């Protein structure tokens, strides 16, 4: 599995001299599976450059799958600027959490109404299919995907991807128990334990860590994790590598370096070998794992190919 970060910033794009190393674009991660399946995690402003690169690659029409965690702006603002959607013969499936009152398509169409953007979703020239997800599992190409609700201020799904390696993409997430954001994760028998089980034994976890414990009291209820919570949770889950992600727009490159140094110190003190780094725009990672497919899951199978009509998980309820 190959991973490339096109946007690592949280909340709002933040270009400028202070963010050149870790990047100013909002969430967008390209994933290429061992079998060549193209998946894109979130469609923040980083999707613009990804779309340009896909079109310029000279490989012909793209066939891809866009997995959206939730429809806050920083995760969808790149959609109207994602070039493959405007090109005939290209084919994209878009997945995201089923809304309470609107379908995924309706919500995405909302940001492309005429007061906001000159072209509506009807202007997509590509073949585009929308899939409203609830938590559970589905197969896309050679990738097994488990979607799990995250504790956030909107309906949000995290995604666990498995080909011959395992990747968990968990943004945005706030601990259910606020004290764990302050002290770091420890098992409590509550729903944060379920979150740790979602991360369990992954080769790489990409996780929201927008705040520090010191910052958290002013940010409680905003829907985000602290680095202390995430480092402890990844360690408890025996994760191999942890990418700190969804960088706060107020944290410049040097401040992110300090965040990583603090995280490493916390792991050293715990005697952990977990590798931690901050996700940087443009960074590529090759993941190799050895976990058999049968060991993954815990949720129901969606039971439908991504090529099928409608939402693979739409009628399945919670796993």
Contacts with Zn ion by CB under 5 A lie at 10, 72, 74, 172
Question: Which C-beta is closer to Zn ion: that of 68 or that of 145?
Answer: 68
Which is nearest to 259 in space by CA: 267, 218, 151?
267
Question: Which C-beta is closer to Zn ion: that of 80 or that of 158?
Answer: 158
Burial class (CB in 10 A: 0-12, 13-18, 19+), 318: exposed
Report the distance separating Cα 156 and Cα 153, nearest Å: 8
Question: Which C-beta is closer to Zn ion: that of 74 or that of 163?
Answer: 74
Residues 70 and 156 sit within 8 Å (Cβ to Cβ)? yes
Question: Which C-beta is closer to Zn ion: that of 172 or that of 192?
Answer: 172
Residues 259 and 278 sit within 8 Å (Cβ to Cβ)? yes
Closest separation in Å from C-beta 9 to Zn ion = 9
Which is nearest to 175 in space by CA: 221, 141, 236?
221
Closest separation in Å from C-beta 224 to Zn ion = 8
Question: Which C-beta is closer to Zn ion: that of 155 or that of 300?
Answer: 155
Question: Which C-beta is closer to Zn ion: that of 45 or that of 137?
Answer: 45
Closest separation in Å from C-beta 69 to Zn ion = 8
Question: Which C-beta is closer to Zn ion: that of 153 or that of 305?
Answer: 153
Closest separation in Å from C-beta 315 to Zn ion = 26
Which is nearest to 133 in space by CA: 113, 105, 110?
105
Closest separation in Å from C-beta 75 to Zn ion = 6
Question: Which C-beta is closer to Zn ion: that of 165 or that of 256?
Answer: 256
Give the number of C-alpha atoms closer than 13 A to the C-alpha of residue 104, restricted to the C-beta side.
Answer: 26
| Residue in the shown chain whose Cβ atom is closest to Zn ion | 72
Q: Tell me how many degrees the CA angle 259-183-234 measures, rounded to the nearest 5.
A: 60
State whether residue 12 is helix, strand or coil.
Answer: coil
Residues 148 and 135 sit within 8 Å (Cβ to Cβ)? yes
Report the distance separating Cα 243 and Cα 34, nearest Å: 21
Closest separation in Å from C-beta 152 to Zn ion = 6
Closest separation in Å from C-beta 10 to Zn ion = 5
Report the distance separating Cα 252 and Cα 243, nearest Å: 17
Closest separation in Å from C-beta 72 to Zn ion = 4
Q: How many CB atoms lie within 10 A of CB 275?
A: 14
State whether residue 198 is helix, strand or coil.
Answer: helix
């Amino acid at each position: 599995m190959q991973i490339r970060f096109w946007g690592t910033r949280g909340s709002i794009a933040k270009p400028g001299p202070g963010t050149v190393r870790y990047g100013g674009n909002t969430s967008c991660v390209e994933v290429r599976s061992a079998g060549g399946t193209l998946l894109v995690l979130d469609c923040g402003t980083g999707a613009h450059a990804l779309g340009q690169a896909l079109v310029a690659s000279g490989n012909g029409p793209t066939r891809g799958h866009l997995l959206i965690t939730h429809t806050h702006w920083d995760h969808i603002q790149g959609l109207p600027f994602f070039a493959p959607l405007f090109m005939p013969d290209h084919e994209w499936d878009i997945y995201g959490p089923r809304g309470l009152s609107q379908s995924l398509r309706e919500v995405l169409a909302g940001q492309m109404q005429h007061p906001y953007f000159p072209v509506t979703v009807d202007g997509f020239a590509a073949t585009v299919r929308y899939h409203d997800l609830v938590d559970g599992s589905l197969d896309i190409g050679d990738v097994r995907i488990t979607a799990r609700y995250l504790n956030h201020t909107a309906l949000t799904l995290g995604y666990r991807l498995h080909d011959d390696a395992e990747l968990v993409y968990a943004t945005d997430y706030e601990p259910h128990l606020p004290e764990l954001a302050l002290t770091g994760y420890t098992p409590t028998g509550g729903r944060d334990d379920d979150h740790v089980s979602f991360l369990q034994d992954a080769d790489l976890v990409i996780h929201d860590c927008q705040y520090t414990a010191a910052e958290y009291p002013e940010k409680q209820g905003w829907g985000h994790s602290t680095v202390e919570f995430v480092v402890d949770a990844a360690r408890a889950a025996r994760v191999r590598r942890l990418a700190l992600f969804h960088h706060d727009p107020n944290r410049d490159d040097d401040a992110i370096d300090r965040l990583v140094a603090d995280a490493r110190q916390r792991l050293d003190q715990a005697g952990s070998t977990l590798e931690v780094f901050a996700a940087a725009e443009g960074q590529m990672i090759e993941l190799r794992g050895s976990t058999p497919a049968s060991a993954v899951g815990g949720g129901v199978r969606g039971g439908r190919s991504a090529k099928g009509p409608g939402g693979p998980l739409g009628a399945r309820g919670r796993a």
